[in-house]
Structure 1
Amino acid sequence: MIMEWDGQMLVIERIGTDGDVRRAMAAIREWDGRAAAIGLGGIDRYLYVGGRRYVFRQAERLARLAHNTPVVDGSGLKHTLERRVVRQLAEDPQVALRRKNVLLVSAVDRFGMAETLVAEGCRVTFGDLMFGLGIPVPLHSLQTLNRMGHVLGPVVTQLPIHWLYPTGQRQEQIRPKYRRVYRRADVIAGDFHYIRRHLPERLEGVWILTNTVTREDEQLLRRRGAGGLITTTPEWEGRSFGTNVLEAVFVALAGEPPALLGSGRNLYPDESFYHYWLERLGVRPRITCWGAGVD
């Protein structure tokens, strides 16, 4: 894909490996020094929970294979963009997000979204144990999520990513589960592969807040009765790309990655970097209403 952004021509290429770590390693080595930026997809490098940062061992090993090209995973953009989007949706009369029942399928990889949903008065169910670990226990408070994150963060970040996240052909499988939790939600938010993984047969009037969806995914949601779709990232050629791609675009345009602030475990990327490029490029959420909404 060739695009012109901010007066510069960008070539954006998605290289799938079907969850094969060796193929991913080979791709990073091949593009190191050739690409302006590399965005890791389907794997987080960092998790931010309650002021602490945890590093996924497998993702860190992949990132360190690149010696000349910056490697990002989208976590810094999630921390800023998704907070902005939730605040905008809270004021948007079409969505009226405030005080809605929200199922956030995984909060530890979207802690900025989790905090802002709660701050805007939403009643949030956190599905981290259910969707990430297969443990049928919903969480209902940030305090509980914090405690869980601090206990499990050092452990789960040492595990292979395919234990926690659907990769390869598993992303195409839908096995309905947790119907009661889905049914209570006015809005289902978070990573689309997690949302899709246990999608119920019907989603009457439910809004979906996510990204990385294709036109086929949109058709699936419409057939199952979803009320609307909100993607936090722009649509390019029929796909709303992930935050890892958009973050890589920012780095390519800037010519350098965002600086890290703080010390020890309290390391956050420079938020001003992301806000600058979000404003400069006019990045806004895409809102598509299919039905009567969530009321």
Structure 2
Amino acid sequence: MKHVVSVSLGSSKRDHAYETDFLGQKFCIERIGTDGDWDKAIELIRRLDGKVNAFGMGGIDLYIYIAGKKYTIKDAKLLVNEARKTPMVDGSGLKNTLERKCIKDVHEQGILEIEGKKVLMVCAVDRFGMAEAFNDVGAKLIIGDLMYTVGIPIPLRSLTSLRIIGKAIAPYIVRMPFEKLYPTGEDQNVIIPKHSKYYYEADILAGDFNYIRRYLPEKLEGKKVITNTTTENDLEILKQRGIKKVITTTPDMGGRSFGTNVIEALMVALISKPLDQIMPEDYIEMLDKLDMHPGVIDLER
């Protein structure tokens, strides 16, 4: 049996384990949260290194991509450097493939009307491929990176603006302590409504769920969400606020969806190539073989 483990800086309340078959091979997939404890995450990686087939890096990105340029988050290297035998991935290899495909599928299959709709991405630099896909199918973007990540109360309204601003601030952002950029540990369970008028303005909320959840207003009647990872508790929170439909870029696995870091780790275990030899084409080919489809959850039922 192949074993994939996501070591996450996020809350342990979101932990999950699931056994299944992919392409005729048995898998045990786990997500283990360390509640923002870097030492605990490092110890876990050291203990499992060489004993599992692939690591996912959860609760933190190793890279962000802006208009084809890759920036490395300094703090994330503390974790990936501990994985000396087992390959470790953060999901960025899939964000430009799986998540683009998700938006395209949702649009073309009529799962959700996107063209002409206003889409709030609380943070788009960690999902630039998703932002581009929304733009390609005719959505009107509200980009919240400056407001929600940097603290400058100005929304961006185009990918051109994001490219210009992103290239200017990315070299500084990736050097900041990660806790300043993204909720980790118990902070993931705290909701602090902020700049709510942009949530109200949007028809669709999209991107990383922890970013979306962090600033959720109390009432969002009829809104839709396109995101990565949701638990039963997450869905209940969204339902209480009046969210109508949730689409996850990864499928349901044992009652919840896993993050892109887990799915990328699963693919790395299946591809069986050294990590530095895996190309985007390998991920695209594997996506076709696995025939993964977005998860669609109707919260009105």
Q: Does residue 249 in structure 1 map to residue 250 in structure 2?
A: no
| Equivalent residue, structure 2, for 1:160 | 177
Shift of 1:211: 1.7
Any residues of structure 2 matched to 1:85-96 within 5 Å, and which? 85-96=102-113
| Equivalent residue, structure 1, for 2:92 | 75
| Equivalent residue, structure 2, for 1:38 | 55
- 1:250-275: CA deviation from partner (whole Å, max 9, x where unpaired): 01112235546xxxxxxxx7221111
Q: 1:181 to 1:39 in 2, by over 3 A?
A: same
Any residues of structure 2 matched to 1:49-68 within 5 Å, and which? 49-68=66-85
SS in structure 1 of the partner of residue 125 of structure 2: coil
Q: Is the 8 A contact 2:89 2:265 kept in 1?
A: yes
Q: Kindly, what percent of the aligned residue pairs are identical?
A: 45
SS in structure 2 of the partner of residue 14 of structure 1: strand
Q: Does residue 99 in structure 1 map to residue 116 in structure 2?
A: yes
Any residues of structure 2 matched to 1:1-295 within 5 Å, and which? 1-257=18-274, 259=276, 270-291=279-300
- Superposition misfits of 4+ residues, deviation over 3 angstroms: 257-260
Farther-moved stretch of structure 1 (169-178 vs 242-251): 169-178
What is the RMSD of the two structures over their aligned residues, measured on CA atoms? 1.5
For normalisation by structure 2, the TM-score amounts to 0.91
Quick one: distance in 2 between partners of 1:274 and 1:80?
A: 8
Quick one: distance in 2 between partners of 1:105 and 1:197?
A: 10
Q: Give ranges in structure 1 of 5+ residues lacking alignment.
A: 261-268
Quick one: distance in 2 between partners of 1:151 and 1:78?
A: 22
Q: Which amino acid aligns with 2:151?
A: G
Q: Give ranges in structure 2 of 5+ residues lacking alignment.
A: 1-17
- 1:76-129: CA deviation from partner (whole Å, max 9, x where unpaired): 101101111111122233411111110011110101011111111110011111
Quick one: distance in 2 between partners of 1:39 and 1:233?
A: 15
Q: Is the 8 A contact 1:233 1:285 kept in 2?
A: yes
Quick one: distance in 2 between partners of 1:94 and 1:82?
A: 15
SS in structure 1 of the partner of residue 296 of structure 2: strand
Quick one: distance in 2 between partners of 1:43 and 1:257?
A: 22
Quick one: distance in 2 between partners of 1:89 and 1:48?
A: 23
Q: How many residues align?
A: 284
Quick one: distance in 1 between partners of 2:143 and 2:66?
A: 13
For normalisation by structure 1, the TM-score amounts to 0.92
